[in-house]
Chain A
Amino acid sequence: MNNLTEKIKALIVDDEKGMCLGTQRILGDFSFPIEELDTSVNFDVEYVCSGADFYKVIENKKYDLVVMDYKLPDANGLELLEYLNGKGADTGVLMITAYATFETAVKATKLGAYDFIAKPFSPDELKYSVMNLVKSILLSRNVRKFQEEKKRIRFEFVSVLSHELKSPLNALEGYIDMISRYHGKMDDSELKTYLERAKTRTVSMRKLVMDLLDLTRFESGARNRECVDIAFNELVSESLNNIREEINSRGIAVEAVFDAEYNIVADRTEIEMIVNNLISNSVKYNKQGGRVMIKTENKDGDLLCAVSDTGIGMTEQEQTRLFKDFSRIKNKDTENILGSGLGLSTINKIVSLYDGEITVNSKYGVGSTFTVRLKNIIKEVPNGN
């Protein structure tokens, strides 16, 4: 199925008007798909019969494709090609000549002509060469677009990152300035409060740096992934044990429901990150004395793990930006909770490595459920599920 159509603006340069008209007709009726780009291509064809006219039209319009006669009465195809290159035009050139020699072919291709066909040529020969040329132009444009997009995303990431790093530094600097300037006017408890806040910001900055390292490790693919057998239920229990202290101090009741013993094949670090992150969030963003419920099930060989809490929840608008880098929900409920805004975006990237998905269902003030689905990673279910 071709969803898009790409109209290629083509220019024919030939001193024989009959040739121009013939080529115009052939290309005008020609269309073909490029599967890699999910695009079908057709042509909008114009022609000029002299070098002088070529220079005129090329000033005012950009062409994707030029089909050019090498030998014109008032110019030489190589000159025109050179001129086109000098303009830095993103145009593919197909050189045509009745005087095809090896030498001109080499010269033309050196100057950037993509292909070379000799007169007389059949419509199919022309179509074949044009098709290859257009594919090459569009694919390389696409690669360029992709690279530019990558650059833009990187720039955005670095801008936001520097802001995120600067803000704890600003806070720390603020406390240092304030204490050095006014310490004589502070009582001990005030001083203690300010130092504790400064300490909190230091801790949160360290967390940001650690999370950032995790994220880049996963994103760069520099980590060696190692798929091993993992007892998933045990991994969940370990994760709970790791934050037992926080669970207890906040009086949170945890319930883990496994309808079977789940053995999965996956990278342990990745699965730990997903589970640790979801469980830690369900505790962090919970209310005092709240509940956390972890439910695991086998859905057609996919592992489904849902972590629910009775916490602060999110509005719909807040949910939409949840998985973006550095996205933090900022309000009164979250102002004392440490977070880098990178946890969920990292999980999201890991989950995609398993061809899976992470979804959220949340209600402001009521709680949230995060569900992770990891495709085809269940090794065996002894209970015969």
Chain B
Amino acid sequence: MKKILLVDDDKDFLIQKKFELEQEEYLVETCSESGEAIEHIKRFTPDLVILDLIMEEQDSGFVLSYLIKKENRELPIIMVTSVTQLTGIDFQAIMENEREWIKADIILTKPVRTDQLVSEIKRMVKD
């Protein structure tokens, strides 16, 4: 069973995505504080991390993905955010140079549809 760690300070997002991904046969753990995520990853050794951009700080997600990739370059990261709706700033992680500074493999906009999330996970984490 593939393991997924969800990091978000939005409790409802954690509850919903944990339940839904468990229905899709993933082993899911959640973490509501970005500061605890690195330790959580060491303990849980997930195959993929889903994290929110804005948590305690505006850029908590950026900082966290940077730290994750520094320790574990190959660990896939999906960043979810409603920041594009909030600020009108549009950014993506499609081009190599964008991934270089964003350090996430893909960015999805909230609300995230579960089927879309699952298809992205399947693409990044092969059984």
Given the contacts A171-B10, A330-B56, A163 and B110 also touching, CB distance less than 8 Å: no
Q: Is the CB of A330 within 8 A of B9?
A: yes
Between A and B, 14 residue pairs with Cβ closer than 8 Å are A160-B86, A170-B82, A170-B111, A171-B10, A174-B12, A174-B13, A175-B12, A178-B19, A178-B114, A181-B114, A197-B12, A197-B15, A332-B32, A332-B33
Q: Is the CB of A194 within 8 A of B15?
A: yes
A335 to B14, CA, bound (A): 12
Name the residue of chain B whose CB is nearest to the CB of A172.
B12
A118 to B85, CA, bound (A): 59
With a cutoff of 8 Å between Cβ atoms, the chain B residues found around residue A330 in the complex are: 9, 55-56
Q: Which 9 A-B pairs have the closest CB atoms?
A: A171-B12, A174-B16, A163-B86, A170-B111, A330-B9, A178-B16, A335-B11, A182-B23, A197-B12
Q: Beyond the given A163-B82, A163-B86, A330-B55, please list 13 additional residue pairs across the A-B interface where CB-CB is below 8 A.
A: A163-B85, A166-B85, A167-B10, A171-B10, A174-B13, A174-B16, A175-B16, A181-B20, A185-B23, A190-B19, A330-B56, A331-B9, A335-B9
With a cutoff of 8 Å between Cβ atoms, the chain B residues found around residue A193 in the complex are: 15
0/1 string, A324-352, CB within 8 A of B gives 1: 00000011100110000000000000000
A336 to B15, CA, bound (A): 13
Q: Is the CB of B87 within 8 A of A174?
A: no
Q: Is the CB of A178 within 8 A of B20?
A: yes
Name the residue of chain B whose CB is nearest to the CB of A163.
B86
Q: Does A173 contact B (CB under 8 A)?
A: yes
Q: Does A148 contact B (CB under 8 A)?
A: no
With a cutoff of 8 Å between Cβ atoms, the chain B residues found around residue A201 in the complex are: 12
A379 to B32, CA, bound (A): 50
Q: Is the CB of A171 within 8 A of B13?
A: yes
0/1 string, B91-113, CB within 8 A of A gives 1: 00000000000000000001100
Shortest Cβ gap from B12 to chain A (Å): 4
Given the contacts A171-B10, A171-B12, A331 and B56 also touching, CB distance less than 8 Å: yes
With a cutoff of 8 Å between Cβ atoms, the chain A residues found around residue B111 in the complex are: 170, 173-174
Q: Does A177 contact B (CB under 8 A)?
A: yes
A181 to B21, CA, bound (A): 13
Q: Does A159 contact B (CB under 8 A)?
A: yes
0/1 string, B57-93, CB within 8 A of A gives 1: 0000000000000000000000000100111100000
Name the residue of chain B whose CB is nearest to the CB of A178.
B16
Given the contacts A159-B87, A177-B114, A166 and B33 also touching, CB distance less than 8 Å: no
Residues 185 to 225 of chain A near chain B (Cβ within 8 Å): 185, 190, 193-194, 197, 201
Name the residue of chain B whose CB is nearest to the CB of A170.
B111
Given the contacts A167-B82, A332-B32, A332-B33, A182 and B13 also touching, CB distance less than 8 Å: no
A160 to B15, CA, bound (A): 24
Name the residue of chain B whose CB is nearest to the CB of A182.
B23
Shortest Cβ gap from B14 to chain A (Å): 10
**Pick the contact of A182 from B12, B19, B86 — CB < 8 Å?**
B19
With a cutoff of 8 Å between Cβ atoms, the chain B residues found around residue A167 in the complex are: 10, 82
Q: Is the CB of A159 within 8 A of B86?
A: yes
With a cutoff of 8 Å between Cβ atoms, the chain A residues found around residue B9 in the complex are: 330-331, 335
A226 to B110, CA, bound (A): 45
With a cutoff of 8 Å between Cβ atoms, the chain B residues found around residue A197 in the complex are: 11-12, 15
